[in-house]
Structure 1
C-alpha cells in the first residue's frame, strides 16, 4: 500500500504543480463516493474493494499493477528460457521475488479489473486506459 500512496501522491503533486504553472485549473477528484447503498454495504461486508467510480488514482493503481504483472511474467520467462546460459536467476532473484509479492498484493486490483462483474469493479474505460499506459511504458522501456 505504501507503494500506491507514494506513487500516486508524488505523481498527482507533480501534475498539479505543472498545471498550476501553465495556468490551468487545479485538478479535483474525490477519493471515495459519498453515497452508500445496500449493494456497497454488501460488498464491504464481504471485504471486497470498491472501485466503482472512475478516478485518476484508480487508473494509476491499475497501471502500476499491470506493470508489475508484465514484469513478473517477463522475469519468469527469462529465467525459464534464457537462464541456462546467462544465469538470470542468480542476478535477479530478489527482484523477481519482490515483483511476485507485488503481484500477489495486487490481486484485488486484478479481480476488480478483469474478473468481477458487479458495480464495484474497476470501470472498463479505466481498465483499457491502464492497459494502454502499461503497454506504452513497456514499449518505451524496450527502446
Structure 2
C-alpha cells in the first residue's frame, strides 16, 4: 500500500464488558480487527525517554493497544504526520501498511500490545527513513 496515508489509520474501540470483578475486552480474527491475526507481541519495561518502532511495513497490518499505561504513536506517510495518544486498554490504533511509525512517551509501567496480520518477516520491514520515502515514491 504505497499510496496509503496517515488518514487510512483509525482508532478502533473494542467492546468493553464490565463486571464487578473487572473488565474484559476481546480481540478476535476478522471481528474486532479487519484482518486475520497471525502474531501478538508486547513491549514493556521501556526505559524512560526511549522510543520504539521507527520503521514501516510493506504489507503488515497492526492493531496497537495500550494494555497498561500510555504512550504516543507518531504516524508518518512521507507527506503528513499524526500523533495519537493511546491510554485505554479497550482502544486500539489500526495501522495500515506503508506508514512509518514511532512509539514515544511511554509512561512508567506501560505495556504496548501489538496484534499483527503476519508472522515476523524481516523482508517486510523498512528500517531506514530514506528507504521508506523511496518505497512510497515507487510506482
Q: TM-score, normalised by structure 2?
A: 0.24
Bigger strand share? 2
Greater relative contact order (CA < 8 Å, ≥ 6 in sequence): 2
Larger Rg: 1
Bigger helix share? 1
